[in-house]
Chains A and B, each alone.
Chain A
Amino acid sequence: MSTRIEVNGTWRDAQSDADTPLLYVLRDELALNGAKYGCGLGQCGACTVLVDDAAVFSCVTPLAMVAGRRITTLEGLGTLERPGRVQRAFIEEQAAQCGFCIPGMILRAEALLRASPHPGEAEIREALHPNLCRCGTHVRILRAVRKAAGT
């Protein structure tokens, strides 16, 4: 039995069991690196992807729940040669140390900007609240999101 999902603009028939968390479908079956395993508990945000336009924890979202939905991962926002606006802002602000949390931060910021194109500082901090960074890159992450928002 397969589950049809749209990933980064392409329809895919995922073969994993319906109760498999989306994270493992993306990483293991579709070989996408962007979403990271951080906790498997929805506590850190490293696995964040977009379902339609909303940021979700892919580590606790079963495949069955996203059948027929539009999923966007880091890879769907741009490429090495043509990074998307949020990715570009993160590169320009050098907003990464180890970078492991950054894909989740970028997707979280993308969801925010789709919902609220010109967020203020408090709104940005609140939107990023579910996502943890351990290197202490927060100040640069905030700067990158402000830059992507043009605020």
Chain B
Amino acid sequence: MTARRDFLKQSGALVVSFALAPAAAAQGAKEGGPKLPGSLAKDPFLDAWIRVEASGAITVFTGKAELGQGIRTAILQVAAEELDVPLAGIALVTADTARTPDEGFTAGSHSLQDSGTAIRNAAAQVRALLVAEAARRWRLAPATLRVEDGSVRATDGRSAAYGELAASLDLHVQAKADAPLKDASAFRVMDRPVPRVDIPAKVTGGLAYVHDLRLPGMLHARVVRPPGYGARLVSLDAGAAERRAGVVKVVRDGSFVAVVAQREWTAIRAMQDLARGARWSETPALPDARKVAALLDSLPSRDTVILERRGAQPNAARTLEATYTRPYLAHASIGPSCAVAHLEGDRLTVWSHTQGVYPDRKAIAEMLGMPAEKVRVIHLEGAGCYGHNGADDAAADAALVATHVPGRPVRVQWMREQEHAWEPYGPAMLVRVRASLDERGRIAAWDYGVWSNTHSTRPGGAGSLLAGRHGAKAFEPPPPRAIPQPEGGGDRNAIPLYALANARVTSHFLAPMPVRVSALRSLGAHMNVFAIESFMDELALAADADPVAFRLAHLEDPRARDVVRAAAERFGWRSAARGGTGIGQGFAFARYKNLAAYCAIACEVEVDLDTGQPRIGRVVAAVDSGQVVNPDGLRNQIEGAIVQSASWTLYERVAFDAKRIRSVDWQTYPILRFASVPRSVDVHVIDRPGMPFLGSGEAGQGPAAAAIANAIAHGGGRRRRDLPIARA
């Protein structure tokens, strides 16, 4: 915060007056009037989000980061729309502890809801202030003025550019909670399929990723990781590495070992030398990877009933029960994690593809024993992360190594096997569900339990970072915490959206983590929706009902009903389709977190009746994410969610033995390849002009998993309750 204020003061385009510190101002907003929308509630000053230079240059600041989800473009659309300027006329600064607001993590499909909402409101208010300034100068009523391409114009022909007006305007003012926003019918930029601004550089070899950052005098480092979680370095013969031409330094700090070299390939060869010269003590401590239910049942559980609904005593005619499991899943980014760090005097700068520059800064500062304000973390894109992967750890590696080569920027990139073996996985999960049907074939009672580790071990403190744990100071990982409802972690989407008169849902939180875990895109929703929506099909079959009709019969939310009907209709759902023919149709639905986007998916799967192997044919999705900002970006996200979830669901499982992770590359951790890509994926967007943004980046994973499993069961394969379903 202080750092950004300093920056703003130094560049001094606008007069800055300090009425209140932001925290106090936010507090005031909380106690007084209505809550400010989106992230304005945390950072209420307009100039934290938007600055207009006297030159006319406009800069928008977001604390969120581009992860390949297209947020850069969507934020620009929102700002351009409300400011009434061309999209190309705005510079966007993303997550940087020296420049942007602290918006925590770019996660949970929150970016448009939090940052998009804040910037939209701030932009509307900045525009209004600029118009008011012109009105003041010209002694005209603001309502008589219009804005065109960044200039305010009067009917008499007078006009003033934004920059000219901004020169005498103070934007260091608090946002209002209820500023008028542009009506959806007047949109020029929002709700239009604007091409992503980041794609041209990515397809022509521009500087697009932190991996591509080349600073003058930059060195290359590689880390030698222990062979397994509990391993400790017993001895290190660094001679061969140190003798290698081009090696600058071998770093040893407790069980943290790294080598710094002039060239990247030299660093890799020296890393191999070091690995050969290292002796480790290993303790066999890992459970049996293939027995998920037994593994999770063996861990002590803290139980919370998250839904208890007691209606009229049900008249149960039939009771069904089932158990579903999911193994540990890897984020498995295509590009292993990377970071660059540079210690200059007592100041450290880290370039990282972290999802949270502020939390990562705090953890790195703690690890190095530096004051947080001496550390700056700047987000640069990495390969898609899909949650908490090795990004923060690589940033910590680079930071720690940089302290050993002061004055020289140093780039650390993980090797493939390090990314696969050391990233925190999406937790293994277990679901047990029992439900009864009444004589009319309606669900009379529902009892559901989900067992899972935490779904976030993000920093946190220094103990959240591998370098912090392995270094001589050996920081302890902080105790795991459950993410509470209504968003939930392992119990995300464990509460069905269906109208159930009698229902209980229990979240069994498992604190001990034999395997390193954290947030994987959609957290528990992938598994919970897979289980709930598979079981809905099992119940529909028992009730002799069509799966889509059965869902609609239990669904009251009109927007939920709309996506279900739209997906079924666009797909050409055949309610009387006979099963067991080798071609099955499957359906599933969820509203992400029961708070964000609605998504229904129908798909067709061919099942080889001899081998049981599935092949996905057509997939049709319907999605309602409230007011749409970029319809093509939204479709891209849902398409990706479907294909990625197909890979998780059909093929993926982290493998380990008692000592080590054994899935360490694409051969031992196979994912979907082109031969298995669905024949077609068609995403239908239900637009809701004027409604709030509903996060969509993780809405498709759960429904896709269940729709595929349901289609396999319908086509004549077995009902599959344990993931993964197929062989890659």
- Interface residues, chain A, CB within 8 Å of chain B? 16-17, 20-21, 24, 27-29, 31-34, 36-41, 43-44, 46, 73-75, 77-80, 83, 87, 90-91, 94, 96-103, 106, 125-126, 128-129, 131-140, 142
Contact = CB atoms under 8 A, between A and B. Distances in A.
Nearest to A78: B204
Contact of B205 (A28, A33, A131): A33
Given A28-B265, A97-B68, A139-B681, A75 B204 contact: yes
A21 B265 CA distance: 8
23 contacts: A20-B265, A27-B264, A28-B264, A28-B265, A34-B205, A36-B383, A39-B666, A41-B667, A44-B666, A74-B205, A91-B199, A96-B199, A97-B384, A97-B640, A98-B68, A98-B382, A99-B68, A99-B203, A102-B203, A132-B334, A137-B643, A139-B643, A140-B639
Contacts of B202: 96, 99, 102-103
A135 B68 contact: yes
From A20, A134, A137, residue with most partner B Cβ within 10 Å? A134
Interface string B191-235: 000011011111111111101101000001000000000000000
Contacts of A103: 202-203, 205
B200 A80 contact: yes
B18 interface: no
B675 interface: yes
A52 to B, nearest CB: 20
B406 interface: no
Contacts of A98: 67-68, 334, 381-384
A110 to B, nearest CB: 12
Interface string B641-680: 1111111000000000000000001110001111101101
Interface string B67-86: 11110000000000000000
B413 interface: yes
Nearest to A77: B204
Contact of A33 (B208, B264, B381, B383): B208
A16 B205 contact: no
B336 interface: yes
Given A99-B198, A106-B203, 7 more contacts: A38-B336, A97-B70, A134-B384, A136-B646, A139-B677, A139-B681, A140-B639
Contacts of B209: 33, 100
5 nearest A-B pairs in the assembled complex, by CB-CB distance: A98-B68, A136-B643, A98-B384, A99-B202, A100-B383
A37 B211 CA distance: 9
Nearest to A138: B677
B617 interface: no
A102 B665 CA distance: 20
Contact of A75 (B196, B205, B644, B678): B205
A142 B639 CA distance: 13
Contacts of A134: 332-334, 383-384, 386, 644, 671
B196 A94 contact: yes
Given A24-B263, A40-B415, A134-B386, A99 B214 contact: no
B69 A97 contact: yes
